[in-house]
Copies of this chain bind each other. A is one copy, B any other.
């Protein structure tokens, strides 16, 4: 009897553990700044192993990291916003979920980093999709709170934009409290009549 273990399952598990590490490297250094040497150091894997997992190289790594981030937001933020049961609670949960995801302003948004960087064109579709679905889901919740459709759409855009701007300013001023204050202001603005 051989010690037979399903190699696919093992590989999938390792890959899943790999993506968050890659994400942090891309966040810290940007897409172009994240060299394979840095990625290799952060993951403890040689280039050979990295190309075994990601035959498409750095671009595939970034694509999968973006897809994982998108999946997290879809499950934890967007889907609850679309749930009709308690839209006000979903909006409050979004704000607290965003606060913890971005570590109260200490962590930057990789999608925003890529949007401002040179690699924007290569990832235009997932980047646009992420923000579009965020705004749409939030607008749905706001409409269910009684706002007219146009107001809901505009207020949702304001929320997404404020979060991104707060992350930029927090990073620029090296002051994470900017982000916390912005989320607090945002809560008031979103819930206003």
Contact = CB atoms under 8 A, between A and B. Distances in A.
Contact of A178 (B161, B168, B172): B161
A169 B115 CA distance: 8
Contacts of A174: 124, 128
Interface in A143-184: 154, 157-158, 160-166, 168-169, 171-174, 178, 181-182
B117 A33 contact: yes
Q: Is the interface of A mostly helix, strand, loop or mixed?
A: helix
Q: How many copies does the complex hold?
A: 2
A112 B33 contact: no
Q: Which of A112, A118, A168, A178 has the most chain B CB atoms inside 10 A of its CB?
A: A168
A66 B174 CA distance: 18
A185 to B, nearest CB: 6
B173 A132 contact: yes
A113 B178 CA distance: 18
A157 B169 CA distance: 9
B117 A30 contact: yes
Interface in A122-142: 124, 127-128, 130-132
Contacts of A113: 116-117
Nearest to A163: B165
A168 B172 contact: no
10 contacts: A30-B32, A30-B118, A32-B32, A117-B117, A130-B172, A158-B182, A161-B182, A163-B165, A164-B169, A168-B168
Given A30-B117, A128-B174, 10 more contacts: A30-B32, A30-B116, A32-B32, A108-B116, A112-B168, A120-B171, A130-B172, A154-B185, A158-B182, A162-B165
